[in-house]
A and B are shown apart, each in its own frame.
Chain A
Amino acid sequence: MTAIATEMQVLLIEDNPADAELTMDALRESHLENRVLWLKDGAQAIDHLFGEEAGLHVQRIKLILLDLQLPRVNGLEVLRRIRNETQTRRLPVVILTSSQEESDVIRAYDLGTNSYLVKPVDYDSFITIVKELGLYWMLLNKSPGESK
């Protein structure tokens, strides 16, 4: 995914290519598809957020969509790192997962997620949810340090 340098990004951290494609379909409906950067596992996410170019990357992120069951570094661990580091701690993170387990919901909130959404099996509900969350967090929600 390439994006125009100045535009704010959605960081999609998702290992399942089918789910990633469906998520991008939904974001397309909100005209956000060009602003998605898809990372395929937790280790890629850690590298992107805390690696050499992290400074450049982080200032463009407007929203992180985070799956929980990720290969290598799982989603909760990624969330913990995000909340622990000064430069990423205030980034809006929305957990987007298949897990309905109460223990996951509790741990995600304890670690400071901004929202927790369970992916519906049904396509139409899934598209609606992701489309609306894209619009809400990208257009309506105000993050610290934003001028407008």
Chain B
Amino acid sequence: MINIKQDGSIQDVNEAMVIATGKDRKQLIGQDFSSYFSDPEKARIGYQKVFADGSVKDYELQMLHRSGSRLDVLFNARIFHNETGDVAGIIAVARDISERKRLERELNNLNESLEKRVTERTAELKAANEELEAFSYSVSHDLRAPLRAVDGFSRKVMLGCGDKLDQEGLRLLGVVRQNAVRMGKLIDDLLAFSRLGRREMHVVAVSMQDLAESSATELIELEPERQINFSCEAIPPCLGDPAMLKEVWMNLLSNAIKFTRQNNPAQIHVGSRIEGEFTIYWIQDNGAGFDMAYADKLFGVFQRLHSQEEFEGSGVGLALSQRIIHRHHGRIWGESQIGQGATFSFTLPLKRLSPFLGDHP
């Protein structure tokens, strides 16, 4: 506690102030109040404010100890009057807030180091991403070129020296070529998959009905000899990236068309229902189906549940679809029994998607 005159000089102090400053009571009395603070100007403004307004609350100052150490305090002060009613001075009480200030400083330091770590981590991730991009670039260019040579030169053998080869020789070269082309397709699909992670999302309102129907029309046109009965219920629109969602429909519908190859006519049905905060869209077919024991493998890259001879494919379509649905904060799954057809379902949130949408789940 400290008692200050109108000119700013100290009138009296208690024991706490003696300890805080490291000076005798006698030494303190008569001295300028502001000279015991790290920021004398702020201290002066403080007591002038008390004289002007009658009081101050929680005025922050830093007291100087004789030893040079500093003590953070909060001053609460008010004026007092003498017997005749005139302003006689200020009574000020200081509260030690050094512990709070220490914690604040620690928190600031922590924040700073956290920010630094985030910056470093971001730079690392950026570098990793660039590396990945360079890698996929190299995959796209450097792996495809030799494959073209494998296929091209096998073909040249067939064309140029085909007469020197017997049936079996020609068949073997055919196998080489088929595999080169298949590997080319694998590389393309893998690239599409890796590109998807980097692609920015452009979220708008999307008519899922239009997407499903146009995808089905496009795909069914590619199979003029087959009888495919496609129907689509009235399904609700959603918020999402239309190009990406189109890929999901194309993948799921082309699977349905592929796996109903042995069923005449093929039946493919699209519908939806709302559950909680999500719309569930589903695609049902009467095709070959799959064994539910392997359901967890459906969405892995290059995972396939059928042999190339039964049903061709690279095993990337469903992995790609899952990645797209995850980026839309949804889920995707398949249900089936062998020979009983399959139903693939995915959910999309009904509500507006969060601003973190572009991030991976």
User: A residues engaging B (CB < 8 A)?
Assistant: 16, 18-19, 21-22, 25, 68-69, 97-101, 119-124, 126
Contacts and interface: CB of A to CB of B under 8 A. Distances in A.
A123 B140 contact: no
Contacts of B358: none
Given A18-B152, A22-B152, A122 B184 contact: yes
Contact of A18 (B142, B149, B180, B183): B149
A98 B144 contact: yes
A86 to B, nearest CB: 32
Contacts of B137: 99, 101
Secondary structure class of chain A's binding surface, majority of residues: loop
Contacts of A22: 148-149, 152
Quick one: which of B141, B146, B156, B188 has the most chain A CB within 10 A? B141
B180 A121 contact: yes
B181 interface: yes
Nearest to B160: A25
Contact of A124 (B141, B142, B155, B183): B155
B181 A119 contact: no
Contacts of B156: 25
Contact of B151 (A25, A98, A123): A123
B145 A19 contact: yes
Nearest to B154: A123
B125 to A, nearest CB: 19
Nearest to A97: B141
A99 B148 contact: no
A100 B184 contact: no
A133 to B, nearest CB: 16
Contacts of A122: 151, 181, 184
Contacts of A18: 145-146, 148-149, 152-153
Contact of A121 (B151, B153, B154, B191): B151
Contacts of B188: 100
Contact of B141 (A21, A69, A126): A69
Contact of A99 (B140, B177, B183): B140
